[in-house]
Amino acid sequence: MNRITRSIVLALVIVASNAACSSHRSPAAESISCCTLSFTVPSNNQSTSYFPVGTFLPDEVREKGLVNWYSRSLQEMAEPSFQTIAGADVESYRFLWLRSFHPGISVRVWKCSSGHCLTAKQLDGVDRYVDGKFVPSAKLAINNLRSLNAAEWDGVLAMLDRSHFWSTPTVDGKPMANDGAEWLLEGAKESQYHVVARQSPTNGDYYDACVFLLKLSSLKVDASKGELY
């Protein structure tokens, strides 16, 4: 683990520990009006409502299977489709973190006309496969909203730039393990849309960028207990 990764993970644990008692509170009042800007949430969790057909090809596992988990989780979190955000005058990034043994998390940041905002959401459990069938059951448990200062927003952009997000292939062609976590990072800017999906990265610039967003969310994640994977 390199120096940057160690420092980010340490900061994540510290922030998570401080926020543990307050993570279930209602969204805080916002001084920036555009933080309450509404984006379209699909009326169903069909995979094409969130990801255009062929987004994850040639990865058949994601394109025909896991994409349903992504979409179902986003719809349950009342998260908008980035297909609508890409058409608006808004720059936004979203980290969707779906783990095999811990509740799913979404962290979305965006730049609007008068500032920068963050929403962090967490489900109350994990969707399961029963007798070979996907059984959705997790519900939205945490829904926090706050403004970001300029330094935090610039930090996000710096991490994304370092990871070469916009030019990183959506999939990496590596075999998928049965358990682990999906690390899905979406971006929308100036009518552009891009998504990168990786399974349980442990280091590197992409990992650092995703963990940085987790740190900003202040959601309770304890790396020392094996929750960061």
Q: What is the mean pLDDT of residues 13-29?
A: 36
Residue 56 domain-assigned (yes or no): yes
pLDDT at 84: 82
Token output for 191: 């009518």
Residue 98 domain-assigned (yes or no): yes
pLDDT at 129: 66
DSSP count for the chain of H helices, then E strands: 7, 8
Residue 107 domain-assigned (yes or no): yes
Residue 97 domain-assigned (yes or no): yes
Q: Are 169 and 198 in contact (CB under 8 A)?
A: no
> Between 133 and 28, where is the model more confident?
133
CATH of the domain at 114: 3.30.1560
**pTM of the predicted protein model:** 0.83
Residue 8 domain-assigned (yes or no): no
Residue 150 domain-assigned (yes or no): yes
Residue 15 domain-assigned (yes or no): no
Q: What is the pLDDT of residues 55-89, one digit of tens each?
A: 999 999 999 989 999 999 999 999 999 988 876 77
DSSP bridge partners of 37: none
Q: What is the pLDDT of residues 145-183, one digit of tens each?
A: 999 999 999 999 999 999 999 999 999 999 999 899 999
pLDDT at 32: 57
Residue 105 domain-assigned (yes or no): yes
Domain extent for 188 = 34-216
pLDDT at 181: 96
pLDDT at 27: 34
Using alpha carbons, list the distances in angstroms from residue 150 to 20, 31, 141, 161, 180. Answer: 25, 14, 29, 16, 34
Token output for 168: 């990183």
Q: What percent of the chain has pLDDT over 90?
A: 64
pLDDT at 30: 38
Looking at the predicted structure, is the pLDDT value of residue 1 above 60? no
Q: Which of 127, 100, 62, 126 is nearest to 229 (CA)?
A: 100
pLDDT at 132: 64
Q: What is the pLDDT of residues 92-139, one digit of tens each?
A: 999 999 999 999 999 999 998 788 999 999 999 888 766 666 677 899
Q: Specify the number of domains making up the chain.
A: 1
Looking at the predicted structure, is the pLDDT value of residue 199 above 50? yes
> Between 1 and 175, where is the model more confident?
175
pLDDT at 90: 83
pLDDT at 3: 41
Looking at the predicted structure, is the pLDDT value of residue 228 above 90? yes
